[in-house]
Structure 1
Amino acid sequence: MSRSSSLRYYILARLLLAPLMLWVITTAVFLLLRATPGDPVDALLGPRAPQAAKDELRDKLGLGKPLILQYFDYLWKLLHLDLGQSLTSQGQSVLEIIQKFFPATMELAVFSMAIAFIIGVSVGVLAASHPNTPLDAGGRLFGILTYSLPLFWFGMVLQLIFSVQLGWFPLGTRFPVTIPAPDGPTGLYSLDSLLHGNLTQFLTTLYYLALPCLTLGVLISGIFERIVRVNLKQTLQADYVEAARARGIPESKILLNHALKNALIPVITILGLTFAALLGGAILTEVTFSWPGLANRLYRAISQRDYPTVQGIVVFFAAIVALISILIDILNAYVDPRIRY
């Protein structure tokens, strides 16, 4: 079987497995929410509300039905792209909540990924190009620390230093109330401000993004650093690199034009996993920094027992991770001709 045919079969298999993965995730979330202690009706009306009012609201929300009927109702709505209505935001659908809050999370994730990639690759290259030196040991230590530090603790430490003590960065908001926020089709303040040519809004957006993105980006960068350092060390010992040295090619050109390109191939593979980690880390980051994103809204929905909102946001995140994972696999197959499926 040719490489192109095997790749087509692989892509088809991944596309067929994606709905199965989403179904498993939605089923697990559905069951876990109903297995945890607490009642969403009590969260809405309070534990001292009359029992008649509780029963009426429970029937209205469909929570009085048997569990299996609730499950099939949920799957039927999901197949029709109906994520339901929020229990805590009356008159607002889960889809509207996603449209409102996701741009803030997306902006946080994109800038954090950029910071993580730049820092991780830079430290990894510096450590690998100076083996058995203090720089190499420092790179290993950097990878261990950034991978193991609790994100919420690191975020609070940065807030105490740079916001509370030094007053360099703001706290608890995405944009100041004294300046009109960028208004555009994407909801991404950085992109909308550029589309309108408003440099003040763009710089203000970056200023408010700086600390939360730095927190998340630095901790995620350890993944890139470890992968780049290990693979670049192996690549620098390859035969074609030794041949390039024998031809008198400068070490800097060997590093950038020969070794680094091949060492970055595994980085493409872990981009999807890193993005999934970013979405998971975004919850802690947004809660720690009071960032008004979808992950923070998910945390509120979990604490308020808002079943439809939790289920809808988790399914939305899972669909994004599945899609990006497929795209990364396809890109990796085209970048690395040695891959066979």
Structure 2
Amino acid sequence: MELDLRKKGAIPLNEHPDFSEQGYEVIRELGRNQEGGRVTYLANVCNSTQQVAIKEFSFADANIDWLGLKAHEREIEILQRLNHPRIPRYVGSFEAPTSFYLVQEYKNAPSLASQCNFNPQEIKQIALSILEILVYLQQQVEPIIHCDIKPENILVDEQLNAYLVDFGLAQIKGVKMAFSSLVAGTPGFMPPEEQLGHSLSEASDLYSLGATVICLLADTRSVDIRKLVDDNYRFNFQKLVPQINPRFKSWLMTMVQPHWKYRYANAAIALEAVKPIEVTGNATAIEILMTAIKFRKQTTMFVLAMIGMFAVAATTLILSQQGGVAQQLEQSQCQSCNL
């Protein structure tokens, strides 16, 4: 009833719900997803200095009832499996007639969507931080795929420590979601296989992270990220960030390859690949050549074939020259014997 009145304007938005019976005192609203029927509050735990984030799933609208119900059930199931310092831990949950509330540890850090002007090196540090979280998720007995990595779901503190939030769309790899057709990630950040309804893998979250890094490098808002993607799901951002090292561009383009087979297989491999790469600066001639070779599988196969052909030709030439020299020596020795 309170939610219905609030939507109609009878209750001001600055008057927050009373959770004192559940042991929480709301401080302020942290965020709102009107379409998804979700509101997140910052609250104090009564008789304690601990602060928590309380996510409200509203079921007042029949159109989002099923989505909200399954989202919070799945998020609780996933969070109860996890224990990572940069994933807000599950604290508890409670219900109301038209809503469900999920209580999590509060991280005092703004989202990437509310921040800007990161330099390239800082962006790389944020990417490394998220990759470390993905390595943890993917190394679970049953690997977990977040399915909604984007600037809004990444919190970053002043030390550039990144926190991954909102596991409402997360999936356990190999577990069939009966309602998967009803949920989806965010356009522009979803990998093509998710948009096409195919099975997801560890490489799926890499695409979303790559899109997030591109979004930051190009200083583009999340809602405008699709402007950088063509009809073949390929990102065109190079002109927006000309100062980026070609090796880093190559790593990034591998992250967002339209076909998952051409991306890094998992977060651990992607993390090790990017660690030694400088984000800015010029690459050597050899690095530029290697970047060009790695950019496409087709190019790689063509170059390898050409190298093989040149190697065979060179070997044949050397052997033929050696044969000619040997024949000349033999003839010279015969002539010496006759003399």
Q: TM-score, normalised by structure 2?
A: 0.21
Which protein has the bigger helix share?
1
More RCO (CA 8 Å, sep 6+): 1
Q: If you compute each CA radius of gyration, which structure gives the higher value, 1 or 2?
A: 2
Q: TM-score, normalised by structure 1?
A: 0.21
